[in-house]
Amino acid sequence: MPELYPAGEPYDHGMLDVGDGNRVYWEVSGNPKGKPALNVHGGPGGGFSPTPRPSAFDPSRYRIIRFDQRGCGRSTPHASDPATSMRYNTTHHLIADMELLRTHLGIERWMLFGGSWGPALILAYAQRYPDRVSEIVLVSLTTARRSEIDWLYRGVGRFFPEAWDKFRDGVPEAERDGDLVAAYARLMENPSADVRAKAAIDWLTWEDAVVSAEPSGSLNVYTGRPAAAQLAFVRICSHYFSNGAWLEEGALIRNADRLAGIPGVLVHGRLDMGCPIGTAWELTKRWPDAELIVVGDSGHTGSDAMRENVINALNRFAQQ
């Protein structure tokens, strides 16, 4: 079974001024003359670990670029600070940031890779700039449709009723039968640090519950983050999802024909409760150049078999 490649220190990094008072952290590792590949993190608001970790990218063949999306990771200002405005943090701002980063690094076309929320952002970018994308690899994907958001924060609660009751009870009683995501977004803007901290923990505890039944999953995937990262993650997630990620409902699947000619591999776990496989299936029916690989033993957080399929896909595209 293929192993992850050893972590490599970045040989270049910086803070990109993207306007609106935001500076986006980016770094490059691997082979400076290798195939350019952008690694897009999840969340939204997940950020990357500041410590290099083993990767599915072969550093001898890829020029590996990663960046922290607005408000998280090492980008500034950080969303954990209540003084940080969320006005200029939307999907369309992130698309513009990616394109600005591409031109800043002098890249003509790049391969795009990401999981969870990352695929939604990747699809939105690729449908706007298809000529700038060579290949795409998506893992455990969502397209951020309102129907998918409603499933994750309400519908899937039928499988975890105790945890969902606690999640619902984290918002004021008058809002418990309404839009829970919007209610949490309002809590994350509350002037009280205690209110924001409790809302963040309640949200992350629910996220952990959704992945808790995965046979190959990890414990405390969400609640195990540092305090500032927790606040930023929940504030950004609730901000995006309460606004439908500023995407027309179903647009990323409906407009998948714009990806014609771009080879893609979608790797999805059949046991993914948070992002059910149906979305990946719908997308591949509209994107003829995409291959869907279903991993039977995996959920949202992956497994050895999922990792093997991702590595194989990246190694295949490295040769093209």
- Residues known to be catalytic: 116, 272, 300
Per the structure block, which two tokens stand in for 38?
């952008």
Residue 121: closest CA among 109, 133, 112, 130: 112
Query: Contact 172/185 with Cβ under 8 angstroms?
Result: no
Strand order across the 22-30 sheet: 12-19, 22-30, 62-67, 35-40, 110-115, 133-139, 264-269, 290-295
Q: What is the Cα–Cα distance from 37 to 216, expressed in whole angstroms?
A: 27
Residue 223: closest CA among 191, 254, 200, 245: 200
Per the structure block, which two tokens stand in for 10?
């970045």
Q: What is the Cα–Cα distance from 26 to 39, expressed in whole angstroms?
A: 11
Tokens 């990890």 sit on residue: 218
